[in-house]
Every structure is written in structure tokens, then in C-alpha cells.
Amino acid sequence: MKQAFPTIETKRLTLVNSIADDARFIFELYEDPLVCRYLYDEEPFTSINQAKEWIDWHEYPEEYGRNRWIIRKKETATPIGTCGFDQWDAVNHVAEIGFDLWHGEWGKGYMSEALTAAIDSGFNNMGLNRIQAFVALENTASCRLLERLGFEREGIFREKHFFQGEYYDHYIYSLLKKEWKKGGL
């Protein structure tokens, strides 16, 4: 049986499903105010227990239909970010993709490389027809990245998240399997 969320290797990266040993990295990633600046669905982490709960939530990805790969530099195995799928509707072949990258690694092409592999896996291993992403309106870097990968901005999902006393709109992006050309090119 084909694995929906296999380990993936790219030229510079390895994407592996999160495990308990990743708790320290996950805590540091999601406590960082720069990384969390546009994540309006959850407060930045304040304890290692939140990271452990995050890992538990993504445990057994095949069973629950959600995953989060830890993005590691291939040469050093250093974790630098996460990406993965959630809200998988296997009946309609749709899932939401999400991603985060340690701010010291921004602008080096790592997330483009990781997402290219993740998207390819979503279409080929999960049987997806549509991959969608929600991006805070202010997050122009993520918008540009998705557009370079071939995602189309469909509109604004109004007041998607209530965070710290305010509602936040998000762009909704989608990519269809028939539109996918590996690397978005």
C-alpha cells in the first residue's frame, strides 16, 4: 500500500514526519515572534508541553489524515522548519497545506524546495486533486511563494481567525492537479 506521508528527499532537504525528539525544535520555532507573526490561529508557544501536544496531534498521520514534516537540511540533519497537510477530505480529494520556516533560513529557497516536494507528494501519494492554503493578508512573502509555485489566489476568506480580540482576513489560494507542473514552472 502506498504511504500517504512518506519521508521525502530533495536536493538539499529531507522531510520526515515529526517525532517526540523534535519537541525542542518545535518549541523554539513556535515561540519565535518572527515565525509566528502571521499565525493568527494560535498563540506563540510558552512551554515545551505545547510542543509535545503539537507532536502528539500529528502522530499517526496515515490514520488521522494529517501530517507535519520536519524540514531538515540533508547534510547536517538540522531542523529548519515544517510543512504538511491538514483538513484532508479524502472523498473530495482536497487538503490544506501549511508551512513555517525558521527566520534565519528565510530567502534561501528552502521552503520552495520543500513545498515542491510536499505538493508533488500530495498529488501522487494522497491522491489529491486540490491543495489549498490560507495566508494572512499581510504575509506577502508566503503569498509570493505560493504564486511562484502555481497557486491561484481565489479571494479573501473574511474574518477567518479571531485572535487576540480581533478578526483576521486571509487569502485563499488553490492549486489543482491538472495545473501542477513540478516546481510551479
User: What are 67-124's pLDDT values in tens digits?
Assistant: 999 999 999 999 999 999 999 999 999 999 999 999 999 999 999 999 999 999 999 9
Per-residue pLDDT, 182 = 66
Alpha carbon distance 159, 101 (integer Å)? 25
Is the pLDDT higher at 185 or at 53? 53
Beta bridge pairs of residue 166? 163
Residue 178 Cα to chain centre, angstroms: 21
Beta bridge pairs of residue 176? 130
Average of per-residue pLDDT across 36-64: 90
- Please state the φ and ψ torsions of residue 11, each to the nearest 5 degrees: -60, -45
Show Cβ contacts of residue 128 under 8 Å, excluding neighbours closer than 6 positions: 93, 94, 95, 122, 177
